[in-house]
A = this chain, B = another copy of it.
Amino acid sequence: MEKAEYDCGFLEDVVDDGRVSFEASRREQYAGDASPHEPRTPDAVVWPTDSEEVSRILAAANERGVPVTPWSAGSSLEGNPIPVAGGIVLSTYEMESIEVRADDLHAVVGPGVVYDDLNERLARDGLRFPPGISSGDLATIGGMIANNASGFNAVRYGETRDHVRRLEVVLPDGRIVECGGDVVKTSAGYSLKDLFVGSEGTLGVITEATLGVEGIPEHRRAALVTFPTERHASEAVAEVIRFGVRPGAIEYVNEGTVEIIDEYADDLSLTAAPTLIVEVHGNTAGVEEDVEFVRSICEDNGATSWESAAGDEREEIWRARRETYDAVRSHRPGEEPAIVGDVVVPISRYPDIVEAVETESDDLDLFCPAVGHAGDGNLHYAPLADLDDSDAVERARELNRRIVKRAIDMGGTATGEHGVGIGKRKFMEREHGVAVDLMYDIKESLDPNGIMNPGKVLPDDGDVTDET
């Protein structure tokens, strides 16, 4: 255990009994996320229950210059909530109210609500909050907003940002602000809600949100399609998007990953080949037309097999994608992803970035599973390494640097949905140039004492490593 750096005893005066802990065993649960970034144990953990309590905590911490790192579920992949500077971890988990306003197609939710729980509640009204993230059983709405998370279904329904209508945010000095409104559109001044979405807890704490939701589509058909090469598969994706089908999901899985999943889930009997999983959504019989259209595009691009399904069988098709995380992690004992790539490129360049990952992994002698929310131009690659093998880890990092550079040169981004956290800070200057200076200005303006989640998003010259 690390030595406490900040005296956080003042929390006992501002938080209700039982809502603060200084115990090592509790604090250690808030030291690291789902990434390989080095954990750091905070000096205290608080679990406030409402915005007033959050306000008191932040005001008191701000006065004392004590860092505060908001914590959602710890399922993030870039060290986003690791309290690298020590101080307080502020868990939003107790703020878990859900109020569904079906008539307005929106829900008012607390930041601690788990994604799957929200969708379970919404399903009673035939509704869903649709970004479709992979870690929906863990991730909370607050974390999703803070990272502008998205996943499987963003290609049709958009990112978390696209659904945020209103935010209640507590600023570092304790002020409680409302941003946006319970409306689908507005032109009333600067869009502050969009500033907080994706700011990863570095500007304030989100304590409530109004989220737009969608009807559950009446018809869903999934298809599993294989291709002779990675390029054939990725070119089919670009063409489906180009022709405006807007599938509910279109996922790419490279051949190496299909092999691993097939080994891991041996009842699936997958063919080791570059694979797409496409799902078409709709409320009318038009869904069948869309499925046939996607099929014809895949066949024009050399598809070697096509298997489609609705109902329960649809879930079987999805298993071929959903098992990825566990399959990759159990593939080689002692090895795990040394980095998790998350680039996005313009869709026409998707074949090029897919090929780049293949070529550069070979060049660096890395075994590199790759999957992606292909319809968004989003590609994840996760080179496996023994994390104690510094040479292998360095090669994995080099792979990431090369791919991110290529993506940015194509007009793309270093991170499509995982956020900057610790690991992507070193790419911010490359991606944004002068705009990074504006981000500093905004950070300085909203958080002059720099207490909110220090060491994240914006690069600095401090001692926080950004080499993972």
Contacts and interface: CB of A to CB of B under 8 A. Distances in A.
B346 A182 contact: yes
B432 A188 contact: yes
A106 interface: yes
A34 to B, nearest CB: 16
Given A290-B284, A445-B441, A195 B187 contact: no
Q: How many monomers of this protein are in the complex?
A: 2
A109 interface: no
A284 to B, nearest CB: 3
B284 A416 contact: no
A161 interface: yes
Contacts of A436: 189
A371 interface: no
Contact of A446 (B102, B171, B417, B438): B438
Chain A contact patch, size range: 35 or more
Given A190-B199, A439-B190, A178 B147 contact: no
Contact of A439 (B185, B192, B242): B192
B186 A344 contact: yes
A150 interface: yes
A207 interface: no
A182 B411 contact: yes
Interface in A161-206: 161-162, 166, 171, 175-179, 181-192, 194-195, 197-199, 203
Interface stretch (A90-98, A317-325, A418-426): A418-426
A1 interface: no
A403 to B, nearest CB: 14
Contacts of A432: 178-179, 188-189
B283 A285 contact: no
Interface string A255-291: 0000000000000000000000000001111110110
Interface in A93-129: 101-106
Interface string A397-430: 0000000000010111111111110001001100
Given A192-B439, A412-B183, A214 B177 contact: no
A335 interface: no
Closest 4 CB pairs of A and B: A286-B286, A284-B286, A215-B244, A182-B411
5 contacts: A175-B437, A177-B434, A183-B416, A188-B431, A189-B428
Given A148-B185, A190-B195, 19 more contacts: A103-B347, A148-B186, A166-B411, A178-B433, A178-B434, A181-B408, A181-B413, A182-B412, A183-B344, A184-B347, A189-B432, A189-B436, A190-B438, A190-B457, A191-B198, A284-B284, A438-B446, A442-B445, A445-B445
